[in-house]
Chains A and B, each alone.
With several copies, the nearest count.
Chain A
Amino acid sequence: MRLPTPTSAQVVRSDDQFVVDLERFQGPLDLLLHLIRSQDIDIFDVPIADITAQFVAAIEGVEARLSLERAGEFLEMAATLVRIKAQMLLPRHEDLLQDEDPRSDLVRRLLEYELFREIAVALSSAEAERALHRGKGYVEPRPPPDVAELPLELTLEQLLEIAVSLPAPPEKRPHRAPVRPITVDEKIELWVESLKRKARVPFDWFVQRWKTRMHAVMSFLACLELAKRGRARLRQERPFGTLWVYRGEDDKDS
């Protein structure tokens, strides 16, 4: 099956007016290309005044016929055509080599669009061909492996490459005040949350992402407070070793 490419049947001349079913066209380039190709016009020497008139006639009342956005796309092209027409009327310099044909940019766009339109047709028949084949309909369900257990394929270089590609954050007032009060209560809440998920958490891990000493101090005070309440236990295997914070066994509060 081929794509419904526009045919001349879609343009009907009535009272010297083109009646075009705009819904059938992908956009202004599609319509313009149709007008040119269906009349066997040399695309490298488009009679811009005629084509502009035809295009404008074809999209007459477009605002009422299509959505605002789609109508805008057609109107923009009409404006481009009118501008090119005006430029064609201007006297051109003797020095022709320097003076580009005002139509050339549009012609390039049309040819490029036509190429992709053709590729789309080829893809469409490939799609139909592929649809004749069916894969295995039923595949026995197998338990998915635990994602957390799978080895991750990612190097630090790859992560950095992604990080570098990211845009700069938008300039605006900072999200948070540069200095915010740190309270023991806040840290207690955090430890409690954390110990709900894990039986033990290394103290270091918890404070290392904040550089200020105040965070570490408050976190430590929070641990001591929790230990006092029996909601946490602190353990250090050897001096200067990792300080582990364990979930309390006799949780007095609950």
Chain B
Amino acid sequence: MKTTRIVEAVLFASESPLTSADIAKASGELSAKDVEAAIDELRHEYERDERSFQIYPLADGFQILTRPEFGPYLEQFDSVTRTSRLSRAALETLAIIAYRQPVSRLEVEELRGVNVAGVLRNLQERGLIEVVDRAEGLGRPLLYGTTSKFLDHFGIRSLEDLPRPDELQISLRAQE
């Protein structure tokens, strides 16, 4: 196996920067000097081929990084692709809150059969639910409801506009 290829594989797969001496351990026949020569060769190849990555010498060794000029593309990529698709757990929780609000965490957990603390936090961060009241009784647990952002998202004016077909089983305290 060619030295440059081994060095490239190690640099690619490593989570942290590696010194030439570290990299040399990949194979019994390698010296730190061989590794440095290989890195020079690779750097030259990447430059010549206009690769979008390069090997950079850092304080504690070498690391392959994306070239800085691609930063804006990565940012654009992040902001568009990381759209908030809700998990099944989050969707179920949101549905329960939408149809049964104001509702306590305990009640949601009884309906879903699992702990929902993390999911509630997530939905709160997204601005879809909020604390709207406190229940009577022991510890006066927080009660959750949906936000105006929730209504806006679905283009409905008020909670009364939420469809309530007959087969809906989780509702319908709201109709008292």
Interface residues of A (CB under 8 A from B): 3-4, 26-30, 43, 69-70, 73, 77, 109, 111-124, 126-140, 142, 144-145, 147-148, 150-156, 158-160, 162-170, 175-178, 180, 186, 189-190, 193, 197, 202, 205, 208-209, 211
Query: Do A137 and B156 touch (CB < 8 A)?
Result: no
- A136 and B92 contacting across the interface, CB-CB below 8 Å: no
Q: Known contacts A165-B133, A167-B140: does B95 contact A120 (CB below 8 Å)?
A: yes
Contact of B114 among A3, A4, A27 (CB under 8 A): A27
A120 CA / B91 CA spacing, docked (Å): 5
Whether A117 lies near B92 (C-beta < 8 A) is yes
Quick one: given A134-B80, A136-B64, A145-B78, are A113 and B112 in contact (CB under 8 Å)? yes
| B13 touching A116, Cβ below 8 Å | no
Q: Which residues of A contact B63 (CB under 8 A)?
A: 135, 138
Q: How far is the CA of A3 from the CA of B139 in the complex (A)?
A: 37
**A163-B127 in contact given A133-B68, A134-B74, A169-B111 (Cβ < 8 Å):** no
The segment from B21-29, B30-38, B40-48, B165-173 that touches chain A is: B165-173
A117 CA / B78 CA spacing, docked (Å): 34
Contact pick for A153, options B84, B114, B148, CB 8 Å: B84
Q: Is the Cβ of A140 less than 8 Å from the Cβ of B83? A: no
Is B168 within 8 A of A122, CB to CB?
A: yes
The proximity string for B residues 103-143 relative to A, scoring 1 for CB distances below 8 Å and 0 otherwise, is 01001001111110000001001111011111111011000
The reply to whether the CB of B2 lies closer than 8 angstroms to some CB of chain A is: no
Q: Does B94 contact A (CB under 8 A)?
A: yes
> Chain A contacts of B114 at CB under 8 A?
26-28, 70, 73
CB–CB B95/A176 < 8 A: no
**Given contacts A118-B170, A167-B134, are A140 and B163 in contact (CB under 8 A)?**
no
Contact indicator A4/B154 (Cβ below 8 Å): no
The answer to whether residues A162 and B111 also contact, given A135-B64, A140-B65, A209-B101 and a CB cut-off of 8 A, is no
Q: Select A136's contact among B12, B67, B111, B115, beta carbons within 8 Å.
A: B12
Indicate if B15 sits at the interface (CB-CB under 8 A): yes
In contact, A116 and B83 (Cβ under 8 angstroms): no
> A residues within 8 A CB of B104?
175
Q: Which of A70, A137, A139, A152 has the most CB of B within 10 A?
A: A137
User: Which of chain B's residues have a CB closer than 8 A to the CB of A176?
Assistant: 135-137
> Of the candidates B99, B128, B148, B174, which one forms a contact with A205 in the assembled complex, judged by CB atoms under 8 Å apart?
B148
A216 to chain B, nearest CB (A): 14
Instruction: Give me 14 other A-B pairs in contact (C-beta within 8 A), A26-B114, A69-B115, A127-B153 excluded.
Output: A3-B91, A26-B88, A43-B174, A115-B165, A117-B95, A122-B168, A133-B65, A150-B82, A156-B163, A159-B95, A162-B95, A167-B111, A168-B169, A190-B133
Complex CA distance for A96 and B14, rounded to whole angstroms: 64
Contact A123 B137 (CB under 8 A): no
Q: Which residues of B contact A121 (CB under 8 A)?
A: 91
Say whether A147 contacts B125, CB under 8 Å: yes
A193 and B83 in contact, given A133-B67, A137-B12 (Cβ under 8 angstroms): no
